[in-house]
Amino acid sequence: MPLLGRLLIITFIESLATTLIERGVYFYSHSRLGFTDGENLGLALGFGAAYALGALASHGIAQRVAEKRLLVATLVAQLAGFATLFFSAGAVLLVAMNTVLGCINGLKWPVIESYVNAGRTPAAQARVVGLFNISWAPAVAVALVLAGPLIDWWSPSLFAAAGLLNLVSLALVRPLGRRPEHLAFDHPERPAPAEMVRLRSLLAASRWSMLGSYSLMWVLAALLPRVYTDLGIGVTAATALSALLDAVRTATFLGLGLWQGWHNRRWTQVIVIFGLPAGFFLALFAPNLAAALGGGGGVGLAAVLAGEVIFGLVAGTTYYAALYYAMIVKNAAVEAGGAHEGLIGTGFAIGPLAGLAGGWLSPRVGGPVAGMTAGIAPIILVCSAGAVWLLAKCGPSRGRAERTSRLSSP
């Protein structure tokens, strides 16, 4: 089997296995353990904080022990975590093990990203990042569709399925080299210094937007189970409906991979800045709005799904941009994936923290909509301001700068 094909299969399987727990756990905890919104947000906060720590540590550990050894160690540790939850998934153990799994995932994904992307020229990088994205993203939607029936049928089967998939990944990583081979920094197809300055600004801007997107996404992950319960939708249908966001994100990855006209352009991030809060608030509070306007549950459901579509589109755009620019600027080192996944983990943590703040504020400022808005608004404002500031620093694209130079020359 070609190396890239093997790596993409590992990516799909690991995304499927981890999402069964990473996203399915909130439906499990809500439907089987009776977790409240606040308790689910606390569960998400622990996972996110541990994920960020693992991701930021991954580069240093990989430098010391080699990437393959670190990858195998994380897969074995993850399998042990799934097995523990299969035998006992009470509230305390679930919270503790979910936090441990967050750290393991933070360590694992930068290494996989490095193996997939190492040794590529910038032109090839665009194609491979696209293949990577459409390998992991569909698995998220598939896992969410599967999670509900597994929980409904026999809840421990959720953890058993993840563990069996993990065993397949362990078999597939055996032929990998000890370390991925990277492109030489002086390779003639590496970006020129002037272009690299622009790429760094675009990378930083897309990372600010991605931080905002994952912060808001993890609030949705924790609270959508309750939103669908309020709409009278059971857990099997609810997990499938919540997968719409990820299906749209996958379609966005496919579109951006096929059409590369967005490369080195700022307008995509401008769309993201406005689209993230619009999609988030529509998905989370559409039932409240429909009830206030006298609409029925069908109107509320349609609006929730519309919010998921908007959010999936813009979240997919900023994720793709952040990973693409990171792999070029950092030459596909584990450091690139570590910083990328570290920001994702930070979003996993600060989003639920803001959600908890919003829940605390709700009875003090007039209700859940006003409270959650007050809790989430600082994340939206800070991340948007950071992205706008860095986009302003980019300057014109190379093609536009060359056209301007020709027009102004005598």
Could you tell me if residue 185 is inside a domain? no
CATH value at residue 86: 1.20.1250.20
Name the band, by pLDDT with cuts 50, 70 and 90, for residue 1: low
> Does 238 score more than 50 pLDDT?
yes
Could you tell me if residue 408 is inside a domain? no
User: Measured between alpha carbons, how far is 380 from 384 in angstroms, rounded to an integer?
Assistant: 6
Reference 26, options 134, 151, 121; nearest CA is 151
Name the band, by pLDDT with cuts 50, 70 and 90, for residue 408: very low
- Token pair listed for 70: 């670190």
Could you tell me if residue 222 is inside a domain? yes
> Does 403 score more than 70 pLDDT?
no
Could you tell me if residue 410 is inside a domain? no
- Token pair listed for 36: 């409240």
Could you tell me if residue 334 is inside a domain? yes
> pLDDT, tens digit, for every residue of 159-195?
999 999 999 999 999 999 888 876 655 555 556 666 7
Q: How many domains does the chain have?
A: 1
Could you tell me if residue 197 is inside a domain? yes
3-state SS of the chain is CCHHHHHHHHHHHHHHHHHHHHCHHHHHHHHHCCCCHHHHHHHHHHHHHHHHHHHHHHHHHHHHHCHHHHHHHHHHHHHHHHHHHHHCCCHHHHHHHHHHHHHHHHHHHHHHHHHHHCCCCHHHHHHHHHHHHHHHHHHHHHHHHHHHHHHHHHCCHHHHHHHHHHHHHHHHCCCCCCCCCCCCCCCCCCCCHHHHHHHHHHHHHHHHHHHHHHHHHHHHHHHHHHHHHHCCCCHHHHHHHHCHHHHHHHHHHHHHHHCCCCCCCCHHHHHHHHHHHHHHHHHHHHHHHHHHCCCCHHHHHHHHHHHHHHHHHHHHHHHHHHHHHHHHHCCCCHHHHHHHHHHHHHHHHHHHHHHHHHHHHHHHHCCHHHHHHHHHHHHHHHHHHHHHHHHHHCCCCHHHHHHHHHHHCC
User: Model's pTM, two decimal places?
Assistant: 0.82
Name the band, by pLDDT with cuts 50, 70 and 90, for residue 330: confident
> Does 400 score more than 60 pLDDT?
no
Could you tell me if residue 403 is inside a domain? no
Could you tell me if residue 377 is inside a domain? yes
In the chain, the percentage of residues whose pLDDT exceeds 70 is 88
> Does 399 score more than 70 pLDDT?
no
CB 270 within 8 A of CB 391: yes
pLDDT value of residue 407 = 30
pLDDT value of residue 72 = 97
> pLDDT, tens digit, for every residue of 144-155?
899 999 999 999
pLDDT value of residue 308 = 96
- Which of 22-31, 62-71, 161-170, 177-186 has the least mean pLDDT? 177-186
Q: How many CB atoms lie within 10 A of CB 396?
A: 13
> Which residues constitute the domain of residue 326?
3-179+190-398
